[in-house]
Structures are given as C-alpha cells and as structure tokens.
Amino acid sequence: MNARNPHAGLPITDDDAAIAAALEDVSVPALMLSLVHLTGDPSYIRGAIKPRMLVLNEIQGFMPEEEQAEVRRLALEAIRAYRDAGCVLPEQPGPELLHEMMSWVACDEVPREYLPMLLEDMELDGVDARRASESGDPAARAGFPVVVIGCGQSGLLAGIRLEEAGIPFTIVEKNAGVGGTWYENTYPGCRVDVGNHFYCYSFEPSDHWSEFFARQPELQAYFESVMNRRGIAEHVRWGTEVVSAVWDEGSATWQVTVETDGARSVLTARAVISAVGLLNRPKLPDIEGMDDFAGPSFHSARWDHGVDYLGRRVVQIGAGASGFQIAPTIAPDVAHLTVFQRTAQWMFPNPNYHEKVGPGVRWALRHLPFYGRWYRFMIFWPGSDGALAGARIDPEWPHQDRAISERNDLTRRWFTDWITAQVGDDPELLAKVLPDYPATGKRTLQDNGSWLRTLKRDNVDLVREGVARIEKDAVISTSGERYEADVIVYATGFHANRFLWPMHIVGRGGAVLGEQWGDTPTAYLGITVPNFPNFFCLYGPGTGLAHGGSLIFQSECQMRYVSACLDTLISGGHRSMEPTREAHDEYTARHQAEIKQMVWSSPAVEHSWFKNRNGDIYTASPWRLVDYRDWTKSPDPDSYTID
C-alpha cells in the first residue's frame, strides 16, 4: 500500500463479521468506487448494478435494497481478499477511469472541464495541489511579514499556507479562541448545514465527524485541533482587535494598530490578509421599547448561557437560518415559545440533517481506500454548479412573483409538497409557513422535519407579523396582539453588507476603504481592491456562495491566489501590487450584470441579507465554482500595477 497517501486507508485487520457489520452502514455507491481502487477492477461500475440518481444528501443513489445487499456481499469477498493479501493496492485508476467513475456516480456525464477542479479537491493522488510554494529565497520570505485579521476557518487556512511558504505572520483575533463564527455562535441547536465530509479542509482528515452535519462544539474543536496540529496557535494574538490599518507609501508597509484589553500597539506588515468573515457583527433591530424589556434579551450570536430558559416564556424574533435551529432545540424545555417570523423560509428536505455517523461509516472512512474521497465527491458534485442554472431568471417566464423560471417553479412545487406533507392537516399553519417568493431566493434551509414539528407543538406559536413595540414583559405585534415574554432572543441576523466594518483601513493617497465602498463593496475577484496595495480579502465582496459549494472550498481557492500574489511580490523583489482600476471595474460590471440575472436579485424577494438597502447584491457570487477556481489559480500580471 502507498503509505504516503493519506486517503488510501489504514490496513484492514478486522474479521469477516466485523467487516460485514460495517458494510451495513455505508454508502453503497461510494463503496463500489472504493472497490475499483481496492481491486483495480473497473467491472464493479460497469455492470447492471448502479445508482439511479445523485441527489444532495441521499447517499445510496436510490439503489434498491436487494442491489445494495448484493454489492455488500461482493464487497465482503473483495475486502477479505485484499486484507488476506496484506492490503496491497493495485495500480490506481488513471484519469479516464476516474472520469468514468465520477460520471457513473453522478449518473450523468461530468463535463471534462470539471476534472481539474474535482481531482484537485479529491486529492486521490495524496497531493495537496493548493499548498503554498516554498520556492525562492528563504531570506526574502522571512523579510516579508504578513498580518492576518481573524482566526476563523479562512484566517486559520491563511496561517497554514503562510507557514508552508516560510512567510512570517501574525494572526490578530478578537475572540479568545479559534473558529470565528463557530466560536461565537453557541446558541442551542447551532450546527453546519453543509455536509461535514465536504465542509472541512480538503487536505485534512475527515474521518472523525460524529454527525453528518456537526454541531458547533465539534466544529470549533475541529478548527482547534487543526490549529494545534499545524502549529498555528503560537502566531495568534487572542483577544485583540484591529482598530486600523494604514498604508505607508515610503516603506511600502501596512501599519496595523491593534488593541488588547484597552492597550494599543502597532504591527508592521508588508501585506495584510483580511479573514474577518461576513456574518459576525450582530444586527439588532430598532424596535420601540427594546430597552424597556425587564427580562434578559440577547442576540443569537451572543447567547447568554447564564439565562435559564427552562419553564419560561421565550419570544424569538427572527427565524432565518439561526432561528430555524434555535426554536426546535429550546421548544421542549420552555413554558411557551413565540416565534416572530417576518418572512417564511424555503426548506430543502434533508433526512440526514441530525443523524449520527455510525460506526460502519467511520470504519469505511478509515479503512476503505478513497471511500471518504468519493463520499466527499457525492456531497460536492450535486451541491455544485448544477444548481446555478436553476438560479438563473428566465425573463420569458410569466409568473415571476412565484418563480423565476419553469425549473424554479418545479423546485417550488417540490418544496411545497415537502411542507404540505407535514402540515397539510393544519390549513392555518400551512398558510403561514408557505413562502410567497421564489424558491432558493433567500438562503434555503436544511430540514429534517424538526421545524414544522416544533411549530405544531402546543407550547409554540408562530407569528407571521412584524414587531410593533416591546414592553417590559411582552412583545406587541404590528396587529396589536400581545405576547408575554420572560426572555427575548433576537435571531435577527448580521450586518452582512458592511464588509470589514468597523475597522478603519486607509490605503494609497489616504483612500478610506469604508468610504470607497459605501453601500457597494467591490473587489477584483472579491480579493483585491484598487488603492489598497498588498491588501487581500478572504470571503470578500461578491464571493459568498448562495447556490452551492462550501465556504472552505472558496477560501482554499482564494488563499491559493493570495499565496501566488505574495510569491509574485517576494520573488520579484517588488514593493507592492494592486489591481488596476480597469481590471476591477470590468470585473465588477460583469459581476453586477450576472448577479442581477439570478434568483437572489428577484424583486419578489423582499428581505434578504444578500441585498443591500437598495436591493442590489454585493455579497454573493454569481459564478460557477469551476470558473472561479480557474480565475483564482494565479494572478494575471496585466490586471495589476506591480512596482
């Protein structure tokens, strides 16, 4: 066995009964693909037994039970032979066979243009192709200090890549620990809604998740363990905020003022990487009487664990992604829960959402060659660019108020059936929970039925109105109804359109980033900004993913680009680089033209954090993942002023 490939699996020493038991749990299509690696025999995927359809979060490809049983029987034979022969892998599939394997499990031809992106992400060759380059003069690298702002998933990634490149760096993190959003959001029920075997770094093991969609403590622990294993913690200044960053033309450095416990100091950096995330400045509503409320009240991202909600009357204002997770978790414990939901949410059926990863799957992830990589593919591919076509507005479609295209109308019907099947027996509730805007127009939520089950509880009320005012012991709806409250939870979202706020970033010629951006933040490829040399954004303007993928995938693409920019600067002995105005403006115009054609821009979607106050979108990306990955492989020198 190729001991250096971390995805080839540990040697198998289990007896037949243990293997057979493990196989009962696994994804059969991923198992069949693993058998091709394990035996070198492609006939496993060339016979009559095959998946029928690949749908996000359905891991058996809709294969009938008897076919699954037959594959398990064949697999046991093959795995036994592999074990008994000392777990030696045969020659591994070449690119043509890998393409065939992808198309087989996707149940459709995977276009060839996707192969580089998919193979890079799957790392079947055990090579982390997005690793930062260590080439060039080590002394020049050592003389190029970088400040990274934020130690969430993207800031930690930046640290990992800078460490690989031999570039000295300091990560400045306002919290006391790693994880960013996964450090701050500790509300009951907080969990990720992208499958964890994909929502993780591509180059790190992913065989340890206890649930398919892990809860916040496990996610935070994951980032902590990666940080410690990679030796990044010693580079982090915890509990420290960046107050300002000012470009000094004379020395071609950024002067970064940071504050720890009220004491300020200045860091000097040749480059700054902003990894501050987007959804981290809580947005409290402006409601009359909020300060008069006598009981405890707090934002979902600042959950007060000192408040005991057991047996109390809780009013939850807001039910987007956060509120949607909070209500089902606290409802069984409170005396009464009132949920104010201004806009109903579309939900994507996902029976696996709260499921644990069974011991068989864990065994397969650890032992079956490349099983985990194919399982990753099975999450990545159906949640990838296929969904983007469905998000495009068809101007010829006549019913724009309910759907943006015929295909989108079919999705609306599918989602509507999912909701109706659960609450069709309660017409009053059904009317309240059916959204009246196009499906996927806001962020679609993952659902296993827990939301509507919660709303059907005797101790839960759903109020589909705004809030008129708050009194010392109650919340009053716009129609004047009074809802008594001991505790108020504001699940009202974040300042998503205020990138990097409230930091004060001053670039060339005194340009102030906040003023340059105003309500329309833009960056070339969402990463670099004219007037701000050697300044790089991760999860910058226009890069949020609304159609699929995972932000970690996006960060890995962006950080590869940033590493290549740093390489350009250092190996060329340059002082600075910034995008040309032409490159930036051309990109921005394309971004705006494209995003306006997507469902998130539909005027039928009244409120969404994707939109700024004018209804324009500067948060989300309209691009195919395959294109964005291509554009961010390395900087095009013609798009930059490099001196």
Binding positions for ligand N01, rule: CB under 6 A: 192-193, 279, 285, 300, 317-323, 325, 340-343, 443, 466-467, 491-493, 607, 609
Residue 103 has what DSSP assignment?
H
**Phi-psi region at 54: left, alpha or beta (left = phi > 0; alpha = psi -120 to 50):** beta
Query: Tokens 């998933």 sit at which residue?
Result: 153
Tokens of 88: 């030696």
3-state secondary structure of 217: helix
The smaller minimum CB distance to ligand N01, of residues 240 and 492, is found at: 492
Nearer to ligand N01, 172 or 192 (CB): 192
Yes or no: say if 145 and 154 are a contact pair by the CB < 8 Å rule: no
**Nearer CB in complex with ligand N01: 157/467:** 467
DSSP state letter for 211: B
* CA distance between the termini of the chain: 49
Nearer to ligand N01, 482 or 590 (CB): 482
What is the closest distance, in whole angstroms, from the C-beta atom of residue 113 to ligand N01 in the complex? 28
Cβ nearer to ligand N01, comparing 9 with 493: 493
Query: Any bridge partners for residue 288, and if so which?
Result: none
Helix, strand, coil fractions of the chain, as percent rounded to 5: 35, 15, 45
CB of residue 145 to ligand N01, shortest distance in Å: 33
Three-state secondary-structure class, residue 424: coil
102 vs 279, which CB is nearer to ligand N01? Answer: 279
CB of 464: closest distance to ligand N01 in angstroms? Answer: 10
User: Which ranges of 252-335 would DSSP assign to H, the alpha helix?
Assistant: 321-330
Beta strands 467-471 and 474-477 are antiparallel
Per DSSP, the three-state class of 449 is: coil
Q: Rounded to the nearest whole angstrom, what is the least distance from the CB of residue 45 to ligand N01 in the complex? A: 33
Nearest alpha carbon to residue 400 among 368, 360, 441, 429: 441
Q: How far is the CB of 214 from ligand N01 (least distance, A)?
A: 10
**Smallest gap, in angstroms, from Cβ of residue 174 to ligand N01?**
18
Which CB sits closer to ligand N01, 61 or 195?
A: 195
Rounded least distance, CB 466 to ligand N01, Å: 5
Helices 216-229 & 153-165 angle (0-180, nearest 10): 10
Burial readout 149-187 (b: 16 or more C-beta within 10 A, e: otherwise): bbbbbbbbbbbbbbbebbbebbbbbbbebbbbbbbbbbb
Q: How far is the CB of 325 from ligand N01 (least distance, A)?
A: 6
Shorter beta-carbon distance to ligand N01: residue 220 or 322: 322
Cα–Cα distance for residue pair 145/271, rounded to 1 Å: 7
Phi first, then psi, for residue 339 (nearest 5°) are -110, 120
Return the bridge partners of 447, or none.
349
- Which residues have C-beta within 8 Å of that of residue 88, sequence separation ≥ 6? 1, 82
Q: For the chain, what is the radius of gyration of the CA atoms?
A: 26
At residue 260, the 3 state secondary structure works out as strand
Q: What gap in Å lies between CA 98 and CA 89, rounded to an integer?
A: 16
| DSSP string computed for 294-311 | -S-EEEGGG--TTS--TT
CB of 247 to ligand N01, least distance (A): 32
Of 368 and 551, which has the nearer Cβ to ligand N01?
Answer: 551
- For residue 354, what are its two tokens? 């709260």
Confirm if 452 and 419 have CB atoms less than 8 A apart: yes
Q: Is 84 helix (H, G, I), strand (E, B) or coil?
A: helix
Closest to ligand N01 by CB, 446 or 531? 446
Nearer to ligand N01, 23 or 192 (CB): 192
- Helices 371-380 and 28-39: angle between axes, nearest 10 degrees: 140
| Shortest distance (Å) from residue 278 CB to ligand N01 | 8
CB of 168 to ligand N01, least distance (A): 33
The nearer residue to ligand N01, 318 or 438, going by C-beta atoms, is 318
DSSP 8-state assignment for residue 637? G
Q: Write down the least CB distance from residue 319 to ligand N01, Å.
A: 5
The residue nearest ligand N01 at its CB is 320
Question: H/E element holding 106?
Answer: helix 95-106
Read off the tokens for 232: 């990044």
Closest approach of ligand N01 to the CB of residue 469, in Å: 12
Cβ nearer to ligand N01, comparing 116 with 285: 285
Report how far apart, in Å, the C-alpha atoms of 203 and of each of 131, 272, 617, 633 are: 9, 24, 32, 17
| Bridging pattern class, strands 240-248 and 253-260 | antiparallel
The least distance separating ligand N01 from the CB of residue 282, rounded to whole angstroms, comes to: 9
Beta strands in 126-230 (DSSP E): 146-149, 169-172
Contacting residues for 375 by C-beta, under 8 A, at least 6 apart: 27, 30, 59, 197, 365
Q: How far is the CB of 348 from ligand N01 (least distance, A)?
A: 11
Q: What is the DSSP letter of 282?
A: B
Residue closer to ligand N01, measured from CB, 26 or 321: 321
Q: Measured from the CB atom, is 196 or 384 closer to ligand N01?
A: 196
